[in-house]
Structure 1
Amino acid sequence: MFDTAAYLKALDYDGPLDPTADTLRELHRRHLIAIPYDSSLNTARGEALWAGVDIDVDAVFDAVVLGGRGGVCYELNGLFLALLRELGYETGLFAAGIRQVDDSFGPDLEHVLGFVRLDGELWLVDVGFVGPSYLEPLRVVPDEVQPQFGTDFRVVRADTGHHVVQRRGRVGDWRAVYRFHPRPRAFADWLVPSPELDRFARALAGSGIVVRGRAFEGGQRILIGTRLVVVEDGTERLRGLADPEEHARVLAEILRKDAATA
Structure 2
Amino acid sequence: MPFDADVYLKALDHRGPAAPTLDTLRALHHRHLITFPYDSALNAGRGTALWAGVDIDRDAAFDEIVVGGRGGNCYELNGLFRILLAELGFDVGIFSAGIRQMDGSFGPDLEHLFNHARVDGGLYLVDVGFVGPSYLEPLRVSGEVQSQHGSRFRVVPADGYHVVERSGRSGVWQAVYRFRDRPRDLAEWQVPSAELEAFARTLAGAGILVRGRSFATGQRVLIGKRLLTVDDGHETVRVLTDPAEHERVVAEILRTRAEDAR
Distance 2:77 2:56 in 1: 10
* Equivalent residue, structure 2, for 1:258: 257
Matching residue of 2:94: 93
Aligned-partner residue type, residue 176 of structure 1: A
Q: Where in structure 2 are there 5+ consecutive unaligned residues?
A: none
Q: Matches of residues 62-73 of structure 1 in structure 2 within 5 Å?
A: 62-73=63-74
- Tell me the equivalent position of 1:38: 39
Report the secondary structure of 2:144's partner residue.
coil
| CA RMSD, 1 decimal | 0.7
CA apart distance, 1:4: 0.4
Aligned residue-pair number: 260
Matches within 5 A, 1:98-177: 98-141=99-142, 143-158=143-158, 160-177=159-176
Residue identity (%): 67
- Cα distance in 1 for partners of 2:235, 2:182 equals 32
Determine helix, strand or coil for the equivalent of 1:75: helix
* TM-score (norm: length of structure 2): 0.98
In the TM superposition, what whole-angstrom CA distance separates every residue of 1:6-35 from its partner, at most 9, and x where no partner exists?
Answer: 100110111101110000000000000000
Deviation at 1:199, TM superposition (A): 0.5
* Range that drifts further, 84-93 or 43-52: 43-52
Q: Secondary structure at the match of 2:258?
A: coil
Distance, in Å, in 1 between the alignment partners of 2:160 and 2:48 is 29
- The match for 2:210 is 211
Whole-Å separation in 2 of the counterparts to 1:183 and 1:103: 23
**Counterpart of 1:174 in structure 2: which amino acid?**
W
* Deviation for aligned residue 1:260: 2.6
Give 1:261 deviation, angstroms.
Answer: 2.4
* CA deviation vs aligned residue, 1:149-192 (integer Å, no higher than 9, x gap): 0000000000x100000000010411000000010001111111
Q: Which residue of 1 aligns with 2:4?
A: 3
Matched with 1:25 is 26
- Deviation track 1:62-112 (CA, whole Å, cap 9, x = no partner) reads 111011100000000000000000100000000100000011000000000
SS for the counterpart of 1:188 is helix
Q: Which runs of structure 2 are paired with 1:219-230 in the superposition (5 Å)?
A: 219-230=218-229
